[in-house]
Structure formats: structure tokens, C-alpha cells
Amino acid sequence: MITNMIVLLCLSALFPVLMGTDEVKSYDFLHTKDCSDNYAGEYSTSGVYTIITADGPVQVYCDVESGGKNDRGHWTVFLRRMDGEVNFFRRWESYKKGFGNTTGEHWLGLELLHQLTRKDQYKLRVDLEDFEGKKVYALYKSFSVGSEADGYKLQVSGFVNGGAGDSLYYHNGMKFSTYDKDQDNSGKNCAMKYFGGGFWYNSCYYTNPTGHYLWENDGTLMDTGATWYFWKNSWDPLKSITMKIRRVM
């Protein structure tokens, strides 16, 4: 145990150097489980931070601004779409482990989501923006992801409307699916049918945040974009979508 702590302390000192001090912030390394632990004054800005997990240090994007001045966020971002720079049409193993650029578009990883939410209670916030600059959000008071043996099943409830409407209720209780691991309730593979990425598809979706990144609606790829049905239906793609969680203290 002592040896492990020494190794972690060494890593905490080296990690920002290896990854670039301009990009990665490190703080109270051994006691940082997620962005909810980020309260120190100099670390109260959004950016990439290092947290400790069962498998070692991991970089995550912490959003401390979403809640507004009276509710500093400290949200751990697990999905970020903003410019189409990252391909989300990926295999199961990629969604399990995570991929992308933490400072830009990325998916944090199903296994880490499970490890974070299996013991503590978390809430979920989804921020949406359209191509006209309008922003809305949806808040869920409870969010968790099951184990891989259980298909990384989604449990989400306690919807609070921030103008977006509730497009996740249809996905509650669903197992995660990708084009190479079909666990949805459809007779066809939803990820393959709509050329989407991995998600908790039902039969098929009311939101598809890992779908194609489309620069507005050109009418050629109907129902394949990153969408949120109860705000912009299923054919008007979003400019940005971010999904983030915060531990309930």
C-alpha cells in the first residue's frame, strides 16, 4: 500500500510535465475521484484535470461554469461534441475504454462511468446548442451506468427541464449498443441503421448524441445527426452537445 502511494505521488508530479503544463492541471492527486473534488481556488476554472481511478491517473475535462454563479458546476464531462473533429462511429472496445481529445470532442469511457457511478449517487446535465446560438439544457437528478456484464445499462431519472425537454426517458433501462455489439430493442442494429456511434439505443432513439456531426441540416442525411428530439426533432442536428455528471454530496 505504501509503495503504491509513493508511485502515485511520483506520477502526480510527472504527469503534468509529460502531458504539458498548459493543458493539464494536477491537484491533491491522491484524493481526487472526479471533478466534484475540484474546489481549490486556483482550480476553479474549466479545463483538463487529472483524477485518480482504480486503473491509475486519467485526464478528464471539468466544467465548473454550467451551474451559474450560484451553483459552480464541477461537472465531469463524459461526452463532448462541438466541431466534428472526432469520428464517433466506433467499435464496442473504443466506447468501453474511451477515445478522442479531452480538450475537444471525446467520449470518456463506459468502464470509467460505471466505476464512478456504481457506489456514489450522481446527477446528469446535458447542454445543447443549435446553429443559431440558442442554448438549453436538461438535468437529471439520478444517473448511473451498470457493469459490462449487465451491458453497461443506463439508469436515469428525476428530469428537470432547462428548455430541452426529456429525450432520455426513452433510453432509461437500455443496454449500450455499438455497430459491432447490438443490444438494442430494435429488430435492426440501430447504430448501423443510422450510421451512429454507440449509445443506449431503444428502438431506436429520441436522442442520438454520438451520431454524424452535420453542419446544419442539408437534407441529405436525415435522422443520422447528433440530435435531441424534444427540442429540435430528429432531423435538425445540433451544433454542440455535452453530457456531464456530478456527484451528489
Binned average pLDDT, 10 residues per bin, the chain of 249 residues: 41 38 47 74 77 90 74 86 95 98 97 95 97 95 98 98 97 97 94 87 94 72 78 86 94
In this structure, what C-alpha cell is assigned to residue 211? 451520431
Q: Is residue 239 part of a domain?
A: yes
Report d(CA 72, CA 65) in Å as an integer.
6
Q: Is residue 62 part of a domain?
A: no
Q: Is residue 28 part of a domain?
A: no
Position 24 scores a pLDDT of: 53
Q: What is the dihedral of CA 88, 92, 95, 100, to 10 degrees?
A: -50
**What pTM value is reported for the model?**
0.85
Position 2 scores a pLDDT of: 39
Q: Is residue 34 part of a domain?
A: no
Residue 193: count of CB within 10 angstroms of its CB? 16
CATH of the domain at 176: 3.90.215.10
Position 65 scores a pLDDT of: 79
Domain count, the chain: 1
Contact 145, 117 (CB under 8 A): yes
Position 218 scores a pLDDT of: 59
Position 44 scores a pLDDT of: 72
Q: Is residue 32 part of a domain?
A: no
Q: Is residue 8 part of a domain?
A: no
Beta strand residue intervals within 2-104, DSSP E: 24-25, 47-53, 56-63, 75-81, 99-100
Domain extent for 119: 74-247
Q: What is the dihedral of CA 99, 30, 248, 178, to 10 degrees?
A: 20
Q: CA angle, corner 225, sides to 167 and 103, nearest 5?
A: 90
Position 221 scores a pLDDT of: 59
Position 16 scores a pLDDT of: 40
**Which one, of 171, 122, 119, 116, lies nearest residue 142 by Cα?**
122
Q: CA angle, corner 100, sides to 97 and 104, nearest 5?
A: 135
Q: Give the distance from CA 182 to its chain's centroid.
A: 20
Q: Is residue 22 part of a domain?
A: no
Across 198-232, b (16+ Cβ under 10 Å) vs e yields: bbbbbebbbbbbbbbbbeeeeeeeebbbbbbbbbb
Position 4 scores a pLDDT of: 46
Residue 246 bridge partners (DSSP): 123
Q: Is residue 109 part of a domain?
A: yes
Of the CA atoms within 13 Å of residue 111, those in its CB half-sphere come to 13
For residue 20, what is the DSSP state? -
